[in-house]
C-alpha cells in the first residue's frame, strides 16, 4: 500500500513533503469534510498512479499482520502474514485523524475483528509486466 499511496514519489505524501490544504480528508486538512465524515470518492486529485483517496478519508486495512518493527519482515514486498495476527496493519489515516497519520510510512495495528466508519479496504491485484 505504501508504494501505491506514494504514487511513484519519494515524498511523505503523494503531492509533496507537506500536508498542504485541500489535498485530503483528515482533521484538519482544509476540506469541508474534515473531522466530520467521509468525502465522496474522487473529491481530491489522484496521485501519480491515477489512484484516488489513498491517503485520508478512510484508513485501509492491509494484509500484513501487525508487528512492532520490521525485523523479520519479508524482503520481497510480499505481505507479512506470519506471527500473531490478532492485529492487522492499518494505513493511510482517515477523516478524523491528524495529518501525520496520512504519511505513507505511518502504520498502526488495528484489531482484525474491528470495524468503524473510518476503516475500509481497497481491492487490488498484481499486474503482469
**What are the 10-residue block averages of pLDDT along the chain, 129 residues in total?**
82 92 94 94 93 91 92 92 92 93 90 85 74
Q: What are phi and psi of 100, to 5 degrees?
A: -60, -30
pLDDT of amino acid 31 = 93
- Catalogue all structural domains in the chain, each as residue range(s) with its CATH number: 1-123 (3.90.1580.10)
pLDDT of amino acid 1 = 56
User: Which grid coordinates are listed for 7?
Assistant: 504514487
pLDDT of amino acid 122 = 73
Per-residue burial over 74-89, b = 16 or more CB atoms within 10 Å of its CB, e = otherwise = eeeeeebeeeeeebbb
User: What global pTM score does this model have?
Assistant: 0.82
Amino acid at each position: 500500500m505504501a508504494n501505491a499511496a506514494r504514487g511513484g514519489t519519494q515524498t511523505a505524501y503523494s503531492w509533496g513533503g507537506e500536508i498542504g490544504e485541500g489535498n485530503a480528508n483528515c482533521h484538519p486538512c482544509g476540506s469541508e469534510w474534515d473531522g466530520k465524515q467521509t468525502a465522496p470518492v474522487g473529491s481530491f486529485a489522484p496521485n501519480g498512479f491515477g489512484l484516488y483517496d489513498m491517503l485520508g478519508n478512510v484508513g485501509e486495512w492491509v494484509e500484513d499482520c501487525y508487528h512492532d518493527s520490521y525485523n523479520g519482515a519479508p524482503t520481497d514486498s510480499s505481505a507479512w502474514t506470519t506471527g500473531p495476527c490478532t492485529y492487522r496493519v492499518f494505513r493511510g489515516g482517515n477523516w478524523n485523524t491528524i495529518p501525520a497519520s496520512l504519511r505513507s510510512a505511518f502504520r498502526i495495528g488495528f484489531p482484525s475483528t474491528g470495524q468503524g466508519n473510518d476503516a475500509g479496504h481497497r481491492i487490488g491485484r498484481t499486474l503482469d509486466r
